[in-house]
């Protein structure tokens, strides 16, 4: 845009260097959370039933309740974080370290209770439920904080795609390391300590240490790059009225549309993942192929990390998101025509490539809603906007749980009933149907006005606005001194 001020070469070099550092730091935050979170996510339900002696129904209520609570809590955390960062000069790193510590402490106490108390007693159940709720709060604070700094990394589309790919890589690596070692640790500690409850407690402590290490390094880097400068600290911090933040949440059209897109496409991911075990139990004659499926789809998911920055550079960010959402849906819907064992693995692998490309793009687009909000409303709400992204994930989990139950019921599923051709056809139809949900997300994404050209226009206008404000401040300052 004509009249756009030029950034000094020294400042430009520093911004590029800081962006490169935070690209990899964004992956480190996800590695730590998934290294610890994969163990908690996979084993907490069986801990509630087998160690704490909750009934399966009550354990399910606890899990669903925590998910709903996290969804409702997300925007509240984002508002509190934004106000504290910009009004009280707090740092993102403080939130990441403190919430990670309190999260690990909550689970450590929860897993320790059955080692000295009688499982099944009322006070034990109440204590575990309360600690589960506390852990949900700290988990969501940590998740929002690790995403809130993302818009500050860079506004370059390719760099943001690289940063979101680093996040995905960190998540996949954390899951892989966690999944490889926690079953061995649980078995070894259960045998050596003679009690399963103590095994959970010791493994949680070890995994907490891994979370602390990752969070400490990430927080140090984030604070170094994203914290206010000495000059900024001397200025009175801008006041952000709550009403203005709520208005931004309620009227930020791109963010609201992206939330719908996110729920649709992530629902596909959850439904496909949740329905696949039923395919290998009731449709495929060889359950051992499930291991092949898991290996192929994980490799395909990792390939998206390399493809995303390349596609964004060639096609553009929004276009890459639309194509990947459609590709996910088509791969899934082709199961109506091709559902043999090899075809199922191949199409599932293809869907995993596309869905992971979309996930990388989605983080970038939500970061753009923060840039858009800053341009339109004059306030920085990085925490709020990235919290809404986290809320959309929780909403997708809730919706997919409901839809999965409805789909299975609609095809006449009965637990452990003999496989029939009708049931097999019904499960295949369910897996193919979820592709329609992904395509619906692609359709809504077409109306999200956050393409690369649009964002370049917004960035140029913001640069001009900041230059005029600096010029006005420079003129006003000598006048005040003379007076």
**CATH number of the CATH domain containing 96:** 1.20.1250.20
Question: Picking from 93-107, 150-164, 348-362, which range would have the lowest pLDDT averaged per residue?
Answer: 150-164
What is the Cα–Cα distance from 329 to 348, expressed in whole angstroms? 11
Among 280, 283, 297, which Cα is nearest to 348's?
A: 297
Give residue 267's domain range.
Answer: 239-468
Residue 482: inside a domain: no
- Kindly tell me if the per-residue pLDDT of 363 is higher than 80: yes
Q: Do residue 266 and residue 222 come from a single domain? A: no
- Kindly tell me if the per-residue pLDDT of 316 is higher than 90: yes
pLDDT of residue 358: 93
Q: Do residue 186 and residue 293 come from a single domain? A: no
* Phi and psi angles of residue 261, each rounded to the nearest 5 degrees, phi first: -60, -45
Q: Do residue 245 and residue 222 come from a single domain? A: no
Q: What mean pLDDT is predicted for residues 42-59?
A: 82
Q: Do residue 25 and residue 174 come from a single domain? A: yes
pLDDT of residue 92: 75
Yes or no: say if 103 and 142 are a contact pair by the CB < 8 Å rule.
yes
Residue reference for tokens 């300590």: 193
Among 375, 366, 342, which Cα is nearest to 456's?
A: 375
Long-range interactions of 334-340: CB distance < 8 A, separation 24+: 334/432, 334/435, 335/428, 335/431, 335/432, 335/435, 336/428, 336/429, 336/432, 339/283, 339/428
Beta strand segments in 337-383, E: none
- Kindly tell me if the per-residue pLDDT of 263 is higher than 90: yes
Question: Picking from 172-186, 354-368, 380-394, 437-451, which range would have the lowest pLDDT averaged per residue?
Answer: 172-186
- Kindly tell me if the per-residue pLDDT of 433 is higher than 60: yes
Of 22-31, 133-142, 147-156, 236-245, highest mean pLDDT? 133-142
pLDDT of residue 2: 46
- Kindly tell me if the per-residue pLDDT of 477 is higher than 90: no
Q: Do residue 118 and residue 158 come from a single domain? A: yes
DSSP state of 163: H
- Kindly tell me if the per-residue pLDDT of 281 is higher than 90: no
Q: Do residue 266 and residue 299 come from a single domain? A: yes
Per-residue confidence band for 455, with pLDDT thresholds at 50, 70 and 90: very high
- Kindly tell me if the per-residue pLDDT of 4 is higher than 50: no
The phi-psi region of residue 416 (left if phi > 0; otherwise alpha if psi is between -120 and 50; otherwise beta) is: left
Average pLDDT, the chain: 84
pLDDT of residue 441: 94
Q: Do residue 39 and residue 129 come from a single domain? A: yes
Q: Comparing 62 with 445, which gets the higher pLDDT? A: 445
Per-residue confidence band for 11, with pLDDT thresholds at 50, 70 and 90: low
Residue 401: inside a domain: yes
Q: Do residue 245 and residue 122 come from a single domain? A: no
pLDDT tens digits, one per residue of 245-261: 888 888 999 999 999 99
Q: Do residue 98 and residue 156 come from a single domain? A: yes
Residue 383: inside a domain: yes
Q: What mean pLDDT is predicted for residues 56-63?
A: 80
What is the Cα–Cα distance from 118 to 292, expressed in whole angstroms? 42
pLDDT tens digits, one per residue of 387-403: 999 899 888 888 888 88
pLDDT of residue 18: 63
Q: Comparing 374 with 224, which gets the higher pLDDT? A: 374
- Kindly tell me if the per-residue pLDDT of 428 is higher than 90: yes
- Kindly tell me if the per-residue pLDDT of 10 is higher than 60: no
pLDDT of residue 432: 94
Q: Comparing 222 with 354, which gets the higher pLDDT? A: 354
Out of 177, 194, 228, pick the residue that ends a domain.
228
Q: Do residue 162 and residue 119 come from a single domain? A: yes
Among 148, 47, 52, 36, which Cα is nearest to 101's?
A: 36
Q: Do residue 340 and residue 444 come from a single domain? A: yes
Residue 408: inside a domain: yes
Residue 189: inside a domain: yes
- Look at the chain and report how many structural domains it folds into: 2
Out of 228, 248, 264, pick the residue that ends a domain.
228
Q: Is the dihedral of CA 20, 22, 27, 32 positive or negative?
A: positive
Residue 7: inside a domain: no
Residue 409: inside a domain: yes
Q: Do residue 257 and residue 157 come from a single domain? A: no
Out of 228, 257, 278, pick the residue that ends a domain.
228
Residue 199: inside a domain: yes
Q: How many distinct helices (H) and strands (E) make up the chain?
A: 15, 0
- Kindly tell me if the per-residue pLDDT of 85 is higher than 90: no
Exposure class string for 55-70: b at 16+ Cβ within 10 A, else e: eeeebeebbeebbebb
Q: Comparing 292 with 19, which gets the higher pLDDT? A: 292
């Amino acid at each position: 845009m004509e009249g756009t001020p030029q950034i000094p070469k020294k400042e430009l070099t520093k911004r590029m260097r800081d962006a490169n550092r935070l690209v990899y730091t964004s992956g480190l935050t996800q590695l730590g959370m998934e290294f610890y979170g994969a163990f908690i996510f996979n084993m907490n339900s069986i801990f509630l039933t087998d160690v704490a002696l909750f009934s399966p129904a009550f354990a399910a209520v606890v899990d669903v309740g925590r998910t709903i609570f996290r969804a409702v809590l997300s925007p509240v955390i984002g508002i509190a974080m934004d106000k504290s960062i910009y009004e009280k000069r707090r740092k993102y790193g403080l939130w990441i370290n403190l919430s990670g510590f309190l999260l690990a402490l909550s689970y450590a106490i929860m897993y320790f209770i059955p080692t000295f108390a009688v499982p099944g007693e009322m006070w034990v159940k109440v204590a575990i439920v309360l600690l589960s709720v506390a852990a949900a709060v700290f988990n969501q604070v940590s998740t929002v904080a690790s995403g809130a700094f993302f818009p500050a990394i860079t506004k370059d589309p390719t760099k943001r795609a690289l940063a979101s790919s680093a996040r995905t890589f960190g998540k996949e690596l954390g899951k892989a390391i966690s999944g490889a070692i926690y079953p061995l640790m649980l078995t070894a500690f259960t045998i050596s300590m003679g009690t399963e409850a103590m095994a959970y407690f010791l493994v949680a402590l070890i995994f907490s240490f891994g979370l602390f290490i990752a969070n400490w390094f990430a927080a140090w880097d984030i604070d170094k790059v994203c914290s206010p400068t000495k000059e900024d600290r001397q200025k009175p911090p801008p006041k952000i009225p709550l009403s203005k933040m709520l208005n931004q949440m309620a009227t930020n059209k791109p963010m609201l549309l992206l939330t719908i897109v996110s729920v649709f496409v992530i629902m596909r991911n959850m439904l496909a993942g949740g329905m696949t075990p039923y395919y290998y139990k009731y449709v495929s004659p060889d359950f051992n192929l499930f291991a092949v499926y898991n290996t192929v789809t994980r490799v395909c998911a990792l390939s998206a990390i390399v493809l995303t920055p390349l596609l964004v550079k060639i096609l553009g960010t929004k276009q890459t998101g639309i194509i990947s959402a459609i590709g996910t849906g088509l791969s899934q819907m082709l199961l109506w025509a091709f559902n043999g064992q090899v075809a199922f693995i191949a199409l599932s692998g293809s869907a995993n490539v596309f869905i992971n490309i979309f996930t990388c793009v989605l983080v970038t687009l939500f970061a753009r809603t923060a840039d858009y909000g800053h341009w339109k409303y004059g306030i920085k709400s990085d925490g709020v906007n990235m919290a809404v992204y986290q809320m959309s994930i929780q909403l997708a989990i809730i919706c997919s749980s409901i839809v999965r139950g409805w789909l299975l019921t609609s095809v006449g599923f009965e637990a452990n009933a003999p496989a029939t051709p009708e049931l097999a056809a019904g499960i295949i139809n369910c897996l193919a149907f979820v592709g329609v949900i992904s395509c619906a997300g692609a359709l809504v994404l077409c109306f999200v006005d956050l393409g690369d050209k649009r964002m370049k226009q917004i960035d140029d206008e913001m640069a001009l606005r900041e230059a005029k404000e600096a010029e006005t401040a420079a003129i006003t300052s000598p006048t005040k001194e003379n007076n």
